[in-house]
């Protein structure tokens, strides 16, 4: 099982601090790479070899030694601080004719301690960055961490499937004459229930069970059952009637006023019931709540769904905006703080002073992602300040002060605002 991303990030921070002043290839290169692989939970000696002998056929210089080779995965060439990385990369490629087909790596990494450069020989991509940025560049090393990075601009197939299925239910209701704000609120509530049913907000599967087991096959009472459910979700457990249906009593109270306002009850039929059950077959726990707003907009827009979500605002695209705007700077500040209590305290204070404003926020997608990333940075800083993984989580609960009151947005469309 791969390490958690939080643990990898913490190890990367420590690694950067350990080698920020290293300069000599002879003195420090092997320990540098042992510790680099340790960041990702990998024992370098078990998976590969240092100073791997190889025939250097291109240069005619006889046999050479690869600084580090993990067969089929990665080749490393290291230089002393300030030396030319282009020369290191050329030297790494010169070793290839001396390797068997099964030994040829997909990746090359070259470094002079101060910089790391990664070549992906399959895609042709090349990335270089200073060592201090390693904690922010971990996504480049998904082949080591076990975590793959979704490319900017792509749509998770699960997200697309979810939008298509819930969109079918939306279209059936709309075509039947159930429209406007009532339809919007009804779909937002349905979206929440589907996610809650898979993400352990509800007892897993009870929403689907309610639809399958309690509603009529012809769907005629589906609207009535869901209306009752909405009232139950808006009522704290202690204020519910004693005679409440046992199946409904199992649902928890949901705060936040999502279910508070009464809306018109739709007339429903077998097609709508079947469409909702199709929605229940999607694993909604794999759909990020951060993109619920974009998902809801896609559900409402038939033309958008036919385009396959080409204008869909993915979470990756949100981060593409937020990272250079302010998150990368905060991550660099955390890396610079290391494990020094005074610097970490100053960083935590800086996080608490951040204010994020979106003047056309829609459903709040950007604000949700910004808040989540600030909380992740805060939790990481608290763990570094007060102890290990378990201690950091406990302290994160007790001392966390980054909160939603730091997020501000304006939205003129009522349905979008209520979704947020």
The full DSSP string for 158-191 is HHHHHHHHHHHHHHHHHHTT--HHHHHHHHHHHH
Cα–Cα distance, 363 to 409 (Å, whole number): 9
Direct distance between the N- and C-terminal alpha carbons of the chain, in angstroms, rounded to an integer: 35
Q: Which runs of consecutive H residues, i.e. helices, occur in 109-261? A: 142-145, 157-175, 180-198, 206-209, 222-233, 246-249
**DSSP of 297-308, one letter per residue?**
HHHH-HHHHHTT
Query: Which residue segment(s) compose the domain that 90 sits in?
Result: 5-145
Q: How many CA atoms lie within 13 A of 398 on its CB side?
A: 9
Q: Cα(127)–Cα(116) distance, rounded to whole angstroms?
A: 8
Q: Which residue has tokens 């012809």? A: 218
Question: Same structural domain for residues 290 and 326?
Answer: no
Contact indicator for 75, 92 with CB cutoff of 8 Å: yes
CB 79 within 8 A of CB 111: yes
User: Which residue is it, tokens 């994160």?
Assistant: 396
Same domain, 320 and 300: no
CA pair distance 336, 372, nearest whole angstrom: 21
Look at residues 306, 328, 358 and tell me which one is the last residue of a structural domain: 306
Residue 152 lies inside a defined structural domain of this protein: no
If asked whether residues 26 and 130 sit together in one domain, one would say: yes
**Residue 283: other Cβ atoms inside 10 A:** 11
pLDDT at site 184: 86
CA dihedral (378, 383, 386, 392) in degrees, to 10, reads 100
Q: Are residues 48 and 125 in the same domain?
A: yes
**30 and 94 co-located in one domain:** yes
In angstroms, the CA 169 to CA 163 distance is 10
86 C-beta neighbours (distance < 10 Å), count: 10
273 with 381, same domain: the answer is no
CB 280 within 8 A of CB 260: no
Residues 265, 286 share a domain: yes
Listed in sequence order, the residues at least 6 apart from 235 whose beta carbon sits closer than 8 Å to its beta carbon are 253
CATH number reported for the structural domain that contains residue 86 in this entry = 3.90.1570
Q: What is the pLDDT of residue 151?
A: 42
Query: 186 in a domain, yes or no?
Result: yes
Q: Is residue 150 part of a domain?
A: no
Residue 54: what are its φ and ψ, rounded to 5°? -155, 145
Do 301 and 335 share a domain, yes or no? no
Reported for 340-343, long-range contacts at CB under 8 A and 24+ positions apart, including other chains, are: 341/385
412 in any annotated domain: yes
Bridge-based pairing state of the strands 74-78 and 107-111: parallel
Model-level pTM? 0.52
Residues 226 and 270 in one domain: yes
Co-location of 296 and 319 in the same domain: no
Burial of 185 (0-12, 13-18, 19+ CB in 10 A): buried
402 CB contacts (<8 Å, ≥6 apart)? 351, 352, 354, 371, 374, 375, 378
* Tokens 């306002």 sit on residue: 261
pLDDT value for 209: 93
Tell me the CB-side half-sphere exposure of residue 196, using CA atoms within 13 A. 16
Count of domains observed in the chain: 3
Please report the pLDDT score of residue 398 as a whole number. 53
What pLDDT score does 399 carry?
Answer: 64
Task: List all residues 6 or more positions away from 98 whose beta carbon is below 8 Å from its beta carbon.
Answer: 54, 55, 56, 57, 64
Alpha carbon 352 to its chain's center? 22
**Both 258 and 319 in a single domain?**
no
pLDDT at position 76: 96
- Residue pLDDT tens, the chain, 420 long: 457 777 898 999 999 999 999 988 888 899 999 999 999 999 998 889 998 888 765 455 556 889 999 988 999 999 999 999 999 999 999 888 888 888 889 999 999 999 999 999 988 889 999 999 999 888 889 888 765 543 434 445 556 777 788 889 999 999 999 998 899 889 889 988 998 998 888 998 999 999 999 999 999 999 999 999 999 999 999 999 999 988 899 999 998 788 988 899 999 999 999 999 999 998 888 776 666 666 666 666 654 444 444 344 667 778 888 888 899 889 888 888 888 889 999 999 999 999 999 898 777 778 888 988 999 899 888 888 887 544 445 554 556 788 888 989 887 766 566 655
- Going across the sheet that includes 126-130, the strands are 49-55, 63-70, 74-78, 107-111, 115-120, 126-130
Residues 410 and 379 in one domain: yes
Does residue 151 lie in a domain region?
no
Q: How far apart are CA 194 and CA 278, in angstroms?
A: 11
Q: Are 70 and 105 in contact (CB under 8 A)?
A: yes
Which residue, of 273, 306, 339, is where some domain finishes? Answer: 306
Which of 306, 323, 353 is a domain's end point? 306
H runs (alpha helix) in 270-356? 270-280, 292-300, 302-306, 315-322, 328-337, 341-352
């Amino acid at each position: 099982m791969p390490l958690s991303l939080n643990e990898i990030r913490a190890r990367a921070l420590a690694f950067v601090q350990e080698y920020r002043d290293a300069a000599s290839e002879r003195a420090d290169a092997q320990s540098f790479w042992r510790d680099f692989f340790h960041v990702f939970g990998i024992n370098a000696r078990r998976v590969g070899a240092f100073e791997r002998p190889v025939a250097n056929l291109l240069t005619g210089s006889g046999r050479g030694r690869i600084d580090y080779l993990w067969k089929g995965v990665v080749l490393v060439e290291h230089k002393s601080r300030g030396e030319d990385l282009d020369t290191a990369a050329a030297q790494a490629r010169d070793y290839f004719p001396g390797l068997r087909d099964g030994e040829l790596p997909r990746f090359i990494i070259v470094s002079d301690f101060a910089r790391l450069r990664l070549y992906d020989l399959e895609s042709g991509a090349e990335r270089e960055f200073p060592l201090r940025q390693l904690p922010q560049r971990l996504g480049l090393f998904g082949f080591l961490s076990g975590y793959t990075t979704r490319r900017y601009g792509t749509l998770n197939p699960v997200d697309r499937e979810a939008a298509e299925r819930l969109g079918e239910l939306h279209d059936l209701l709309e075509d039947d004459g159930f429209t406007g704000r009532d339809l919007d609120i009804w779909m937002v509530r349905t979206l929440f229930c589907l996610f809650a049913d898979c993400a352990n907000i509800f007892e897993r599967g009870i929403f689907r069970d309610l639809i399958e087991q309690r509603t009529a096959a012809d769907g005629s009472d589906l609207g009535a059952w869901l209306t009752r459910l909405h009232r139950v979700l808006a009522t704290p457990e202690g204020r519910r009637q004693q005679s409440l249906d046992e199946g409904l009593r199992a649902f928890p109270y949901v705060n936040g006023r999502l279910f508070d306002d009464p809306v018109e009850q739709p007339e429903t039929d077998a097609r709508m019931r079947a469409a909702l059950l199709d929605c229940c077959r999607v694993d909604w726990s794999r759909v990020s709540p951060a993109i619920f707003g974009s998902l809801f907009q896609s559900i409402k827009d038939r033309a958008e769904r036919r385009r396959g979500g080409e204008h869909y605002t993915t979470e990756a695209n949100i981060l593409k905006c937020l990272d250079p705007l302010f998150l990368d700077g905060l991550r660099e500040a955390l890396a610079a703080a290391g494990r020094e209590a005074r610097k970490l305290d100053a960083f935590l204070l800086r996080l608490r002073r951040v204010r994020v404003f979106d003047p056309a926020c829609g459903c709040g997608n950007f604000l949700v992602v910004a808040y989540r990333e600030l909380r992740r940075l805060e939790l990481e800083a608290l763990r570094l300040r007060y102890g290990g993984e378990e201690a950091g989580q406990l302290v994160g609960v007790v001392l966390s002060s980054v909160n939603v009151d730091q997020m501000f947005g304006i939205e003129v469309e009522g349905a979008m605002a209520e979704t947020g």
